[in-house]
Structure 1
């Protein structure tokens, strides 16, 4: 089986499931450009171990429900379901791998798929016929912990598992709600400065800079007042890293609502 890349996808607003945008069009075509995975592992910014006892949590429901973990959106969004099967055996394998690498992990047989998982997957794989497992971030843990998490998971790529970090390359909701710009508003300069820096550091294979982007990049804290939406990037980087570098490829860049950049990256030698 061909080795899959690991991916980082910016999932933006839940309304991406319904509203036209360049990012939506990109995700709707991405699934056909990838080798079909046997299963998908999503590390979502909306599944945070810091809120669940402090341990990494992997989902093991055979039929994970669709979680509508948001409010104030149209009824059509709440009516959406993503009935992909789970994969309890894969969840146990993930837990065993992480435990063997000294990373504490809990298996949750009840939790479903939050919108960081099902919104982008509903565009990539609309038939919902590929098993999906979720793994939490831990917002109280440093970037290096998340990178190591990805490294521990990397061998799954050789077994047909698509590893997806789902967050946002920029995520300042206060800036959005203070102005409420339209979806196609031009990017704020402080957003572009940050994403351009990320792209440059990716091209330079500057892993340490990237792990500390919030501190080192222009407007890092403006774009990430909290770390949750950038942490899945570090997991994807770790999962795709090779001995000779990240082999990062910027698959997409656009901006919605002036402040939510929708960049997507692939990592790994074979893409």
Structure 2
């Protein structure tokens, strides 16, 4: 039976997904899930139970960028190993998900975005998707962003995407709530190292300003957030957060659905945005 229909007396599944941002962390999360990987697995099961399987995932990642926003409309994807120096086992993992060319054309027409006939999922997408949808059976449409876009521009782009929720499409943005590779390499901290004070302060500022719907401050995070330059020497790992925020709508309080840090400085927070965000919080706790 189609999940959009129900028998008399049954309650229809509300398939309007919240927009999500998840921190993907190290590519090793695909082999060693840790706390965040286990959360993503729980998140996937919860979405399946309470929302049903999405018709597609619109994926926005820190690692898929272009000179302008562009949709990767290939009919088939595979995992891209856009990293080096990891165990050979990691490079043997596969994630062969179908593409979503029809959705790409629909979005292209609606948003005047170009489509390229290209497939492939960067590690920010496939390592998260392996935990959310391990069977690789959900079509994926990557949206490449320009790393030079401002947070305000990306929130505006996301603001054109709410119609996807009504179509059963999950907007999934991936990056890291804090990301400084120099800190990660300095002294080679252990995965369970005590979090730096600066990292915690930055993560909490994002959470506090989100709860206050202070989008002006959030858009100006590099000037207003504590330790912003230390936590994000460059913007790209936080930029997808703003697309998901815009997709959820800026009048509804975002929900931090997961928090924590690995290696003492790599923030792993996840957020849900939009009218379904609080419902997700409740579903995750059920």
Q: Residue 137 of structure 1 contacts residue 228 of structure 1 at CA under 8 Å; is this kept in 2?
A: no
* CA RMSD across the alignment: 1.1
Distance 1:180 1:154 in 2: 41
2:10 maps to what in 1?
none
Query: Which structure has the larger Rg?
Result: 2
Secondary structure of 1:153's counterpart equals: coil
TM-score by length of 1: 0.93
1:48 equivalent among 65, 77, 87: 65
3-state secondary structure, aligned to 1:152 = coil
1:253 aligns with 2:259: yes
Per the alignment, residue 130 of structure 1 pairs with 138
Q: Which residue of 1 aligns with 2:15?
A: 2
In the TM superposition, residue 246 of structure 1 has moved relative to its aligned partner by: 3.1
Asked whether 1:180 is paired with 2:193, we answer: no
Change (3 A) 1:2 1:111: closer
Give the 3-state SS of the residue equivalent to 1:208 in structure 2: helix
Q: Deviations over 1:60-80 (max 9, x none)?
A: 111112111100011111001
Q: How far apart, in 2, do the equivalents of 1:136 and 1:255 lie?
A: 26
Contact 2:75 2:119 in 1 (8 A): no
Q: List aligned pairs for 1:55-204, cutoff 5 A.
A: 55-99=68-112, 105-204=113-212
> What's the counterpart of residue 55 of structure 2?
38
* 1:183/1:257 contact within 8 Å kept: yes
- Helix, strand or coil: the match of 1:201? helix
| Contact 1:190-1:219 at 8 Å conserved across structures | yes
TM-score under structure 2 normalisation? 0.88
* Off by >2 Å, runs of 4+ in structure 1: none
Tell me, yes or no, if the aligned pair for 2:159 and 2:246 is still in contact at 8 Å.
yes
